[in-house]
Structure 1
Amino acid sequence: MESATGRLRHPADLDLRRLRLLTELERHGTVSAVAAALHLTPSAVSQQLAALAKDLGVRLTEPAGRRLRLTPEARLVLRHTARVFGAIDALYEDLAAQRDGEAGQVSVAGFATTLAPLVLPAAGLLKHSHPRLRTALAEVDPPDSFERLSRGEADVAIAVEAPDAPEHDPRFDKVPLMREVFDVALPTGHRLVDEPALGLPDLAEEAWIFATVGMCREIPLAACAAAGFTPQATHTIGDWEATFAAVRAGLGISLVPRLARPVGRDGVVVRPFAAEAPSRRVFAAVRPGERGVPQIAAVLDALRETAVGEEARTARAAQSVAAHS
């Protein structure tokens, strides 16, 4: 084969098929063997190798008896070619992973009490099941989380059913996660701690601690009204840690959603109700048509799995408290 030299062209102009032929020549040793392996004619192989030599501006082969010997420049090209094709293989692997939902990034906005019991465990599940899928987590309360979702700054927003939630908002698609029950937080030694069948009417004469705004305020008020009394609101606190501290100090009682229930806090007993308890629905919101995006679908599956586990765990914990009361 005649080797040609010329001016080096821009790498983007290189024909990858010609680089493949050079690697095949290294592997098989002769043009005839390359032609047979690739179902080409020897003439076509020689022409393509000559064109590659011209593109690169170097000699790639030299005669060695009845065979062709690769030049040092060809060996150098082959070393780079291995990296080029390795990068191309990695590109296709990444594209396949992106297409199948195994890679990429999903941003999740959750409100405070959902992070530890729902969002973070879901991220942990994904770390094992989809190790190349990154989750970016942020603590954001509604309605800000919905605004982020609308602007494309978040892919999934966690919220609860509320008057200002996107119940029928066409900008969002709603994915149910769990029903979250409210229990009552009492100070240790309270007269109702050991009440065998605790109901909301038993709390009518108590001093109450309410959340400042939102469903954690509206649900207890509505539940008390349905039970036939207006609660005596003595304190309004917007932080659960402070709320539990106030309960511990004997300043009042509070209805607590189970995702926010205290764990291992001395001085506070969280009791379930014997009858139907107040509750709220926790859901995930995504943009229309994106529920089926593989990456988002994987996050939603993980959230549903952790929600089912959390709902069962808190129910068992409540039953255990009731059994020992």
Structure 2
Amino acid sequence: MLVAVADHGSFGGAAAALDCTQSRISHGIGELEAALGFRVLQRSRTGCKPTEAGQRVLAAARQILQLAATLPSLGASDAALAGRLRLACFRSISTHVLPPVLAALAQEQPGIRIDIDDSFEERDALVQALRSGGADVAIAQLPVGAGLVTRPYVADDYVLVAPASLALPAPISWQQVDALPYLQLDCAGARDIAARCRAAGWTAQPDRTLATDSAIAALIGRGLGYSFLPRLAVHPLPDGVQIQPLPVAARRQFVIAALPGVARQPACAMLMRYLGLARLQTDSAAYRAGLLAE
């Protein structure tokens, strides 16, 4: 009802869309606001619009409706499921998180075959692969934009990556790395973290920009600089490299994402279900090594 009111701008419009009375809509919204303890809609003579808190509830409500649309496919016979799906992700996810999922699918759902493209470096490219039909499911990094079915997935922290020879007594400060060049990973996520660090007093500018985290780690191992990289991306640590917590907390949050129509397909719904299973996430090398953020 909340989504209908927001989409149509009035209780009357929502009632017409849902084929019920306007008083039923009014009563339902009243029940929702009573349960939440705050107003979700601002009413006026010209209609209704969500309050600031209501906007957040509305976003969650849309996600709930998207997820609910996938439930019928879960009633399909598991044994009958078959299909070839394309999964897009970062290399660090395919290497350290996905193997238990793929092993379980191969054993328990042999009719579902997964092709993995882990060549992505940019978070926006993962979303574009979904929208263009280049991938059925993606392990995408937030933010992903509207129009996708998403489910929370794992997260890792950005860390300070520096030469092992550099003394970095805690607590870490920006001044401790001032003598070294800063190496910038050429992607939106890394640039966002750099901007957040600058807002917290860090002033360095990139000495070099590189396309891959592995190339940056190799240079750092030679003492040629430092960088801010996701924890999964530098596991296992190369020779001559150390990691330390950043002075500013920064996290890379992933979601399982698909277009709504694709997510409703039985094989795709099953893949998304397996990706979200806690038992498979805790069986991953990343979890056992303590690389995933709490």
Distance 2:243 2:106 in 1: 33
> Does structure 2 retain, via aligned residues, the 8 Å contact 1:180–1:280?
yes
Distance 1:189 1:128 in 2: 46
> Does structure 1 retain, via aligned residues, the 8 Å contact 2:89–2:138?
yes
1:315 counterpart = 2:287? no
Counterpart amino acid of residue 166 in structure 2: H
> Does structure 1 retain, via aligned residues, the 8 Å contact 2:89–2:118?
yes
Q: Which runs of 5+ in 1 are unaligned?
A: 1-96, 319-325
> Counterpart of 2:9?
none
Q: Residue 315 of structure 1: SS of its match in structure 2?
A: coil
Rg: which structure is higher? 1
1:78-93 equivalences under 5 Å are none
1:159-308 equivalences under 5 Å are 159-162=140-143, 166-168=144-146, 170=147, 172-192=148-168, 195-199=169-173, 202-203=176-177, 206-219=180-193, 221-273=194-246, 277-305=249-277, 306-307=280-281
Q: Residue 123 of structure 1: SS of its match in structure 2?
A: helix
1:261 Cα deviation from its structure 2 partner: 1.6
Higher alpha-carbon deviation: 251-260 or 104-113: 104-113
> Does structure 1 retain, via aligned residues, the 8 Å contact 2:186–2:210?
yes
Counterpart amino acid of residue 118 in structure 1: V
Counterpart amino acid of residue 312 in structure 1: Y
CA-to-aligned-CA distance 1:220-276 (integer Å, 9 cap, x gap): x12312321222321211112211111011111111202212315211112234x66
1:286 Cα deviation from its structure 2 partner: 0.6
Counterpart amino acid of residue 251 in structure 2: S
Counterpart amino acid of residue 172 in structure 2: L
Distance 1:230 1:307 in 2: 38
Distance 2:137 2:186 in 1: 26
1:216 Cα deviation from its structure 2 partner: 2.0
Distance 1:152 1:124 in 2: 25
Distance 2:254 2:84 in 1: 23
1:316 Cα deviation from its structure 2 partner: 6.1
Q: Residue 243 of structure 1: SS of its match in structure 2?
A: helix
Distance 1:184 1:252 in 2: 11
Instruction: Give the alignment partner of residue 152 of structure 1, picking from 111, 127, 133.
Output: 133
Q: Residue 138 of structure 1: SS of its match in structure 2?
A: strand
CA-to-aligned-CA distance 1:54-101 (integer Å, 9 cap, x gap): xxxxxxxxxxxxxxxxxxxxxxxxxxxxxxxxxxxxxxxxxxx97536
Q: Given the superposition, is the C-alpha separation of residues 300 and 150 from structure 1 closer, same or farther in structure 2, using an over 3 Å criterion?
A: same
Q: Number of matched residues?
A: 214
- Kindly, what percent of the aligned residue pairs are identical? 25
> Does structure 2 retain, via aligned residues, the 8 Å contact 1:246–1:252?
yes
1:59-74 equivalences under 5 Å are none
Q: Residue 98 of structure 2: SS of its match in structure 1?
A: helix
> Does structure 2 retain, via aligned residues, the 8 Å contact 1:198–1:272?
yes
Distance 1:222 1:266 in 2: 29
1:25-104 equivalences under 5 Å are 99-100=77-78, 102-104=81-83
> Does structure 2 retain, via aligned residues, the 8 Å contact 1:160–1:282?
yes
1:122 counterpart = 2:101? yes
Instruction: Provide TM-score, normalisation by structure 1.
Output: 0.57
Q: Given the superposition, is the C-alpha separation of residues 182 and 145 from structure 1 closer, same or farther in structure 2, using an over 3 Å criterion?
A: closer
1:202 Cα deviation from its structure 2 partner: 4.5
> Does structure 2 retain, via aligned residues, the 8 Å contact 1:204–1:229?
no
Instruction: Give the alignment partner of residue 134 of structure 1, picking from 106, 109, 113.
Output: 113
> Does structure 1 retain, via aligned residues, the 8 Å contact 2:180–2:224?
no
Q: Which runs of 5+ in 2 are unaligned?
A: 1-74
Counterpart amino acid of residue 135 in structure 1: I
Instruction: Provide TM-score, normalisation by structure 2.
Output: 0.62
